[in-house]
Amino acid sequence: MSEESRRAPRPRAGRTTAGRRQLRHSLTVAAIDLFLEQGYETTTVDEIASAAGVGRRTFFRYFRSKDDAIFPNHEEVLQDIERLFATADEKRNPVEVACAGVGLVLDFYLSDPDVSVKRYALTRTVSSLRDREVASVDRYQRVLARFLRERFAAAGDPLADLRGSIAAAAVAAAHNHVLRRWLRSGGKEDAHAHAKEAFQLVTEASSLYEPARTESDDEQTVIAVMRTTTSLSEVVRQISAAYRGDDA
Amino acid sequence: MSEESRRAPRPRAGRTTAGRRQLRHSLTVAAIDLFLEQGYETTTVDEIASAAGVGRRTFFRYFRSKDDAIFPNHEEVLQDIERLFATADEKRNPVEVACAGVGLVLDFYLSDPDVSVKRYALTRTVSSLRDREVASVDRYQRVLARFLRERFAAAGDPLADLRGSIAAAAVAAAHNHVLRRWLRSGGKEDAHAHAKEAFQLVTEASSLYEPARTESDDEQTVIAVMRTTTSLSEVVRQISAAYRGDDA
DNA sequence: ACTCTAATGGCACTCCGTGCCTTTAGCAAG
DNA sequence: CTTGCTAAAGGCACGGAGTGCCATTAGAGT
C-alpha cells in the first residue's frame, strides 16, 4: 500500500522547498500506514524514516516527536480563527461567531478525508494518540473561550467568564460531535448539514444569556400562551423570537 | 522543604500495605517539590526515587510514568460517579445528576488543597503536564456524556447524542471554571458556593431540552406576561417553573 | 530457626529525542 | 569547469524514560 513511499529514490540532501513539503507528506503517510499495519508502540521512528527513504535524524527535523507525524499543523487554523474573531462584527451573536470559528476546524478535517479517517482509527485505538487529539481540541476551546468571555464581558455580563467557558465548551462539543459522526461514516456524510443543525442548537441554548435590553424606548409587553404539552424549547424559541421583535 | 521525605529511613523490602500508601505519597511529594524547584524536564526519575529513599525501579512499580507521580488516581472517583449515575432517581433532571457527578471530582480536588494547588502551578507551566490534565478531564466528560445520552434517549429525544455531548461539555466546563478559580485563589475560596451557582446556570440552559410531557392528563395552559426589559433568562426561569408546576 | 511470599534494587536493553559534527547536493560567481 | 558557499541530510553518541529479568531481603507465619 505504501510501496511508492517505501522505495522512492529521493535526493539525499539539498532538498528544495517543494521537496520538503513532499517529504513531510511522505513521512506522514508512511507513519499512518505503519501504525495501522503493525501498531503504534511497536513501530519505531527508524522504520518510519526508512519507509520514507530518509534517516532517523531527518525524521526529527520534520516532526518534533513520533506522534507529531500523524497530526496536522493546527497553528494555521488557529490563526485563521483568531483573524475571524478579530474582524467579526461586534453586533453579531458571539456564539454564532464562535460556531463559524470551529467551522474552520471542521473544514480543515474535511479537506483531507482519507488522512482524517485513518487518523481517527488510530486515535480511537491508541490512548496516547487520543490524548494528543484531546489536547489539540482543548487548544481550540481555549481560543473560543477567550473570545466569548471578552464579548460577554463587553456586553456587561457579570458572569462573563463562566458563561464564556461554558459556551465555548458547548460549541466545541457540537463540533466534535459532528466531526466524529462524519469520521465514523468514513468521510461520506454531509458534515456541513449536521454542523448547521448542531450550531443552531447551541446558539439557541445560549440565547438565554443575552442581557436584557435596557436602552429600548419602545418598551413592550410580551404575552405567551401555551399548553403544557408544548415542548419547553419550542416555548423559548417563540418567546425569544418575540423578544427580538421578529414579529410572531 | 522535603527534608523528611528525602532522607526518610525506610525499610528496603517487605513493605506493608500501609507502608505502600505512605511511600506512594512520599514519592508524589518528592516529585512535586522537585518539579517546582528545578523544573519538570530537568528532573529525572532517579532524583525523585532517591529523594524518597528508594530505587529508580521501585518508582516505576508505583507509577506508570514520570508524570503519573503528581496526578491523582482518578479511577476511584470515576467509579464513584458511575455508581451515582447507576443509582440515581430516573425522574431527576439528568443534568442535575451529572452536576452531582462532577461535584465528586471537585470534592476530590478540595480534599487535598496543598497538592492540588501545587499541581496547578505545574500544569499551568509545563505543557506536557497540562495535556495530561486535559486528558483526565476528557475521561470524566466522556462518562458524563454517556450518561446524559442514555437519559436523553430514554426520554425519547431524537437528538439525544448531540444534546448529551453538549450538556456534558457544559457541565464539565462549569466544573473546570469553578475548580480553576478555586485553585487560583490558592485553595482559600468557597468553591461549593460557586459550584452551586455554576451548576444552576448550566441546568437552566439545558432545561430547554426537557421534552414535552405527553402523558399528563391535567393539561394546563401557561400564560407568561413580561416586559421586554426583563432578561430572557429570567423569562425562561419563570416559565420553566410554571411548567414543572412549581406554582407561580 | 526455617520457609514462603512479596516487595525491592540492580542490571541490561530498547527506544525516544537531541546535540554535534561531517558529508553532500544544489547554487552562484569566477 | 572549477571553486566556494549554504542548506539539508546522515551518522554518531549521549541522556533519560520505561521494561523484563533475576538476585536479594524483609517480614509473617510455622
CA-to-CA distance for A130 and B215, rounded, in angstroms? 43
Q: What is the mean pLDDT of residues A15-22?
A: 75
CA-to-CA distance for A78 and B122, rounded, in angstroms? 25
CB contact under 8 A, B169 and A173: yes
Please name the residue ranges forming H helices in chain B. 3-6, 17-38, 45-51, 56-62, 74-87, 94-110, 113-125, 127-154, 160-184, 191-206, 232-243
Nearest partner of A137 among A91, A100, A96, A179, judged by Cα: A179
Nearest partner of B23 among B65, B68, B54, B60, judged by Cα: B54
Contact partners, residue B87, CB within 8 Å, separation at least 6: none
Answer for the pair B99, B199: CB distance below 8 angstroms, yes or no.
Answer: yes
Local confidence band at A235 (pLDDT 50, 70, 90 cut-offs): low
Residue A216: is its pLDDT beyond 60? no
Q: What is the mean pLDDT of residues A20-33?
A: 93
Residue A9: is its pLDDT beyond 60? no
Tell me which chain A residues have a C-beta less than 8 angstroms from the C-beta of B159.
201
Contact partners, residue A112, CB within 8 Å, separation at least 6: none
Protein residue closest via CA to C1' of C23: A13
CA-to-CA distance for B71 and B129, rounded, in angstroms? 9
CA-to-CA distance for A24 and A62, rounded, in angstroms? 6
B178 burial type by CB count under 10 A (0-12 exposed, 13-18 middle, 19+ buried)? buried
Average pLDDT, chain B: 86
Which H or E run contains B222? strand B221-227
CB contact under 8 A, B219 and A229: yes
Nearest partner of B239 among A124, A239, A191, A129, judged by Cα: A239
Local confidence band at A21 (pLDDT 50, 70, 90 cut-offs): confident
Extract the C-alpha cell encoding A195.
Answer: 454542523
Residue B155: is its pLDDT beyond 80? yes
Which H or E run contains B221? strand B221-227
What φ, ψ does residue A217 adopt, rounded to 5°?
-80, -30
Residue B23: is its pLDDT beyond 60? yes
Average pLDDT, chain A: 86
CA-to-CA distance for B142 and B136, rounded, in angstroms? 10
Local confidence band at A3 (pLDDT 50, 70, 90 cut-offs): very low
Contact partners, residue A209, CB within 8 Å, separation at least 6: A152, A157, A163, A167, B205, B233
Predicted local distance difference test score (pLDDT) of residue B6: 39
Predicted local distance difference test score (pLDDT) of residue B207: 74
Residue B141: is its pLDDT beyond 50? yes
pLDDT tens for residues A144-154? 999 999 999 99
Residue to substitute from B128, B129, B166, interface A, most A β-carbons within 10 A:
B166
Answer for the pair B117, B187: CB distance below 8 angstroms, yes or no.
Answer: yes
Nearest partner of A180 among A170, A171, A189, judged by Cα: A189
Predicted local distance difference test score (pLDDT) of residue B161: 97
| Strand C interface, protein residues by Cβ within 7 Å | A 11-14, 16, 43-46, 56-57, 60, 64-67; B 12-15, 20, 23, 53-58, 61-62
Local confidence band at A241 (pLDDT 50, 70, 90 cut-offs): low
